[in-house]
């Protein structure tokens, strides 16, 4: 008889906020439920630009057709759920306000940062440097740990307690993967992206290759690469 203790616990997806200088985790956000689906989009950075896609007259430099300027621009979208009623053993006097606030602070500067910027303005600083946020990582198992920037956070609160604290919500989350094209050389996030890309290379190398016969091209062998 299978015991419950023998059943492996599922790995949770989540977001880790780290110090870009030391790599020390500053905050770990574990999604209560793993999303049922992930929508991933990759847009190649073609060397020829938009016109290269059109082809024909004015379609860009033909020598650039197979060239890339850098890694593909990758975005992720998924829906996450937070439900306090699924964790009745955990006291939640504020409902799920803390969980929502934690995610929202990924796109807000802190009050200390805003006050510092205001002080610089009062001192007559001509140009205020934009506030830099901590490095954010999205994790989906050990094979997907990648630096990201939160681009979309849409919250649908659907249930409340007697004090109007939200106790159930659905969140639409959009992420842009930060590559070496987005981060300066030597940045910890750039190193993590390179490790993520190397993982893709290893997985691609382990995939079983097909055969020309399966494509109806058997017998031609390498002649398919010739000029006919």
Per-residue pLDDT reduced to its tens digit, 90-124: 677 899 999 999 999 999 999 998 998 888 888 87
What residues of the chain score a pLDDT lower than 50?
A: 51-56
In the prediction, which pLDDT does 46 show?
Answer: 86
Give the up-direction half-sphere exposure of residue 2: CA atoms within 13 A in the CB hemisphere: 4
pTM passes above 0.85:
no
Q: What tokens were used for 184?
A: 């300066």
The distance in angstroms from the start CA to the end CA of the chain is: 64
In the prediction, which pLDDT does 226 show?
Answer: 58
Q: What tokens were used for 227?
A: 């000029």
Specify whether the CB–CB gap between 72 and 42 falls below 8 A. yes
DSSP string, 169-182: EEEEEEEEE--TTT
| Closest to 159 (Cα-Cα) out of 170, 147, 150, 148 | 170
Give the up-direction half-sphere exposure of residue 99: CA atoms within 13 A in the CB hemisphere: 23
In the prediction, which pLDDT does 40 show?
Answer: 97
In the prediction, which pLDDT does 179 show?
Answer: 96
In the prediction, which pLDDT does 214 show?
Answer: 83
Q: What tokens were used for 203?
A: 């997985």
| Closest to 160 (Cα-Cα) out of 85, 53, 108 | 85
| 185 Rama class: left (phi>0) / alpha (psi -120 to 50) / beta | beta
């Amino acid at each position: 008889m299978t015991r419950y203790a023998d059943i492996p616990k599922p790995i949770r997806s989540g977001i880790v906020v780290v110090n870009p200088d030391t790599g020390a985790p500053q905050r770990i956000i574990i999604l209560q439920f793993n999303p049922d689906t992930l929508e991933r989009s990759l847009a190649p950075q073609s060397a020829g630009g938009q016109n290269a896609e059109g082809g024909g007259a004015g379609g860009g430099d033909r020598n650039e057709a197979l060239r890339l300027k850098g890694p593909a621009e990758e975005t992720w979208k998924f829906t996450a759920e937070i439900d306090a009623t699924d964790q009745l053993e955990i006291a939640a006097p504020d409902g799920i306000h803390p969980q929502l606030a934690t995610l929202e602070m990924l796109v807000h500067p802190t009050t200390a940062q805003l006050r510092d910027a205001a002080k610089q303005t009062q001192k007559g600083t001509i140009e205020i440097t934009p506030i830099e946020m901590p490095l954010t990582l999205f994790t989906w198992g050990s094979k997907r740990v990648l630096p990201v920037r939160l681009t979309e956070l849409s919250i649908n609160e659907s249930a409340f307690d007697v004090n109007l604290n939200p106790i159930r919500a659905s969140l639409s989350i959009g992420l842009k993967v930060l590559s070496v094209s987005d981060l300066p050389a030597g940045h910890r996030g750039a190193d993590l992206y390179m490790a993520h890309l190397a993982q893709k290379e290893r997985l691609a190398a382990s995939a079983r290759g097909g055969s020309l016969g399966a494509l109806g091209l058997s017998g031609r062998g390498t002649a398919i690469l010739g000029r006919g």
